[in-house]
Amino acid sequence: MNQLSRAERAQIIRALVEGNSIRSTVRITGYAKNTVTKLLVDIGKACAAYQDEALNDLPASRIECDEIWSFVGMKAKTVPEERRGEPGIGDVWTWTALDPDTKLMCSWLVGDRSPEDAEAFMADLASRLANRVQITTDGFPAYVSAIASAFGSKVDYAMLMKEYGSDPAEDRRFSPPVVLAETVRIIEGAPNPDKISTSYVERSNLTMRMGMRRMTRLTNGFSKKAENLAAAVALHFMYYNFARPHKTLGPKTTPAMAAGLAGGVWTCEQIAALLD
């Protein structure tokens, strides 16, 4: 990225983290598509490396986990027979672990929805926490063995299974589903019933969809390479954790500040400087 100044990189980053696609960012900034794409990959790797080092010894007391769907190249149902099973194409899942108190995204993993990725995700999360925590997940079965492997008995873990359906009072075709029933299953330890929730991490899915064009439903700005998706996710969480004040924390407080990882609000110029 020798051709771009830090201010020019920051301009591109600012467009990307506000939910613009690659082509939209090209139109806004005037830079070539290859330039924008290369910067995304490079800054994504830098953001991933920085957060891998910074997000450690976290003071969280509870964690909410979820998985959000996206795809690379094409959806799984449209992958040709001869390409089925090929890495880096089709459905992709991003596993996320959110601290609902500081709103910090403590760990994430871009991969598939396999038991192996569940194990890797939970092992990474466990390595970043300073204390015993209460974890709530949805009812996806792979979590049970993954959390047992990563935490053993040193965790308070509950599953919250929600049953969704149509709101009988709504006649509109595109009305969102509503929660009809919730079932709690205690898996390990003694989780506080009042703190068993996945609402915050589910809300963070909306933040991801708004902040990354490739995550938007019915998008035509989907990732063409798995590397690009992973870079976009890392950049998004760098901006979310360090540079975007969270309204519930205060007008000038980011999740990283609430968790004691930063002394102030980062700017896009500071994020761009990770490449220097």
Residue by residue, pLDDT tens for the chain (276 residues) are 458 999 999 999 999 999 999 999 999 999 999 999 999 999 999 999 999 999 999 999 999 999 999 998 888 888 888 888 787 888 899 999 999 999 999 999 999 999 999 999 999 999 999 999 999 999 999 999 999 999 999 999 999 998 877 766 666 565 667 777 889 999 999 999 999 999 999 999 999 999 998 888 788 888 889 999 999 999 999 999 999 999 999 889 999 999 999 999 999 999 999 998
The residue to which tokens 């330890």 are assigned: 189
The residue to which tokens 């929660």 are assigned: 179
Determine if the pTM surpasses 0.85.
yes
Question: What's the token pair of residue 231?
Answer: 């870079």
Question: What's the token pair of residue 43?
Answer: 């800054």
Residues 6+ apart with CB under 8 A from 165: 177, 178, 180
Cα-only R_g, the chain: 19
Using CB atoms within 10 A of its CB, is residue 160 exposed (0-12), middle (13-18) or buried (19+)? middle
- Backbone φ and ψ of 216, nearest 5°: -65, 140
